[in-house]
Every structure is written in structure tokens, then in C-alpha cells.
A and B are shown apart, each in its own frame.
Chain A
């Protein structure tokens, strides 16, 4: 992360430096917007990761669907969500994963007006 990028606890601020660090990961996730790529990925996830030049950490996070780790490695939520969509997971499912809640608990927290901080 660049020195001038805001640091907000509990918040990933995606910047150009993060974009560079996680380029392979985000490119792979972004490629999944194409139907034929989704098929290729599902057919052989490891080989697909190889094609996109993922680091070992990025690859393991993708294969394990470790959503928190993908974010720590610089994933952009808009890219990472495309991988979640391949698994038919919703943004509210991811919200639950990021906050240690079930999807239902997370959805309920939103329905009750959202989570408040400070």
C-alpha cells in the first residue's frame, strides 16, 4: 500500500500499489466474466492458476476459497466477487465470511439497518 493511501482499520483500501501486487490474482478472477474461461477454470483449477502466473499464496487462497486471504493479498472485491459467482455465492455470503457471521446473520444485520462503527 502506498504511503498516502488512507489507513482505516477493518477496511481494505485498494490502490495502485495493491493492484500491482495482486495483478495475477485479480486478472484471474476478472477473466471469469467470460463463460468459456469459467468452463476452463472449473475443468482444471490448478492448471488455470498456472496460466495466470499466480504466486503460491495466491493460488492456495483461490483453491481453498480463502476469501479473507485473497483480500489480504491485495484482491479487489470487484474481481474476487467474480470467483464467488462461479461458486454461486452472493455478496452477502462474502460479507458473512469477512465478519465471522453466517450469511443469514449478516443479511439480518443489514436488514436491521446495517453495522455501525463509531
Chain B
């Protein structure tokens, strides 16, 4: 995508799997996307590890991750909407860290590229970054993520303007980057997750962090971020598209697109 590899035989099946979702999204362009993601030691260093954080800036620069910034547009924020989310979520007892300034890394820009591989000068929608610590134990519990998602959904729906909002839950599926189990892929777990995220998110919320690490790998715990997306949707949803592919470098990659049918 941002490195022009979509036709490369290694990457093509992965990107082709996204196409139907992209076509649907092209017909339903959101005004704002709340992107739930994790930073990879780029904007956030381990001097401070916020468990949950929200960006409230006018715009976000693309981080230099060690090889220069990715060739993608800067990200336009939605500060008033962010302020509303901060107020609503803290009122709902989710004690968020607030970022007035934030460089966004591939955790945020790659999902945007999946949605829109050729954005040109600007992304098709404004973005609110919602960061989750999935790198340093203890991460938030899966149950807490689902609960945050539910509060996020209420916050979005209570915004006075009538906006179309997408929520992107991101994070690799099963994978582990280091240690003797590096290269772990647990397709059974991933397929169970892809199914349960629609029908039984409580079942996924009930899994412990240790279960995520054992079953999905030390980095597979990134899956808890999907539960924030799931929680934000209303009770009536429709599965528009899903895809699953191994490998994307060292990880299993899956995607599921839900349309929210509740108001």
C-alpha cells in the first residue's frame, strides 16, 4: 500500500481480501473514524505508559519509526468531537490520558491505508486516535476494553451533530515476535475470535490476559483492541465482509466489517 507492494505475489492475497470491505466503505464514507490502535514505541516511549489515551489535536504528524516517515498524508483530527469523547468517557469513569500532540505510527496509518490505499493529498475522513497499551503488562483486561467500547458508542451517539462515524478496532491476530515461540500462529483461536466477535463478544471479554498471551502469542493480545470497536456498535449489527490470511510478515491478519443497524 504505502510502499507500493499490493501487486507483489506475497502481499497480493492479503490485499485482495480487503477489497469488498473497501468497496462498501467507498459507498459509506464516514465523516470521522475513531481508530483504536497501539503505538509501537514511536510517539509513546516507556517513560509513561497510558493504558487508554485519546488524541484531541487538530492534526497528527506521521511518525518517523526509524526509516523516515511513511509516505502517507498527515492525519486531520476532529478536536471538538474528541473533546466530547473525552468528557463523556471520563464522566463514564474511564480515566483517559489526553494527547494534545501526537505523532501517529503504522498502528494507525496502516489501517487507514487498508481502508484507502491511494489517499492522494488527504485521507477521506477526519480521525480520532484512541491509544491502548497492549505492549507492557498489565494491559487492560479484555472485559475493560469491551466496556470502554460500550461507553465510546454511547459517547458517539450523544454527539449533538449528525455525523457518520466509523470505529476501527485494529491489531494483528495471533502472532509472537520474539522468544522460542516466535512465529506462533493459532488459526483455530483466530477463527473462533472472528466468529465470536460478532455473536459472543462477552465470551472474548471473559478471556484473561494470560489466555490471550498463551493462545494468541505475546503480541496477539493486540486483539483486545477489537473489543473496543465491538462494544461501540449497537446491539443490532450486520457482518458485511470478513477475510483472514496468513502470513503478513510474522502475523496472522484478519479483518471483519460490521454495519451498525441500531440507531
Q: CB within 8 Å of B: which residues of A?
A: 2, 4-6, 8-16, 19, 23, 26-27, 30, 32-35, 38, 71, 76-82, 85-86, 90-92, 94-95, 98-99, 106, 109-111, 113-117
Q: Which of A32, A79, A91, A116 contacts B184 (CB 8 A)?
A: A116
Q: A82-B41, A114-B187, A115-B184 are in contact. Are A11 and B217 (CB under 8 A)?
A: yes
Bound: A26/B40 CA distance, A: 12
Query: Which label, helix, strand, loop or mixed, suits the secondary structure of the A interface?
Result: helix
Interface centre among B46, B65, B217 (most CB of A within 10 A): B46
User: How many B residues touch A, CB cutoff 8 Å?
Assistant: 41
* CB–CB A106/B183 < 8 A: yes
Within 8 A of A (CB), among B33-51: 40-42, 45-46, 49
A5-B137, A6-B137, A11-B217 given; A98·B180 CB < 8 A: yes
Interface residue SS majority, chain B: loop
Q: Which of A8, A11, A15, A117 contacts B136 (CB 8 A)?
A: A15
The answer for the CA separation of A5 and B218 in the assembled complex, in Å, is: 12
Chain A residues near B67 (CB-CB < 8 A)? 85
Contact status B250-A92, CB under 8 Å? yes
Are the C-beta atoms of A8 and B213 separated by less than 8 Å? yes
Q: Which of B85-93, B121-129, B143-151, B171-179 contacts A (4 or more CB under 8 A)?
A: B171-179
Chain A residues with CB below 8 A from B213, complex form: 6, 8, 11, 13
**In the complex, A94 Cα to B177 Cα: how many Å?**
8
Q: Which residue of A lies closest to B137 (CB)?
A: A15
- B96 lies within 8 A of chain A by Cβ: no
- Given A32-B66, A35-B68, A106-B183, the answer on whether A16 and B136 have CB atoms closer than 8 Å is yes
B137 — which chain A residues lie within 8 A by C-beta? 2, 5-6, 13-16
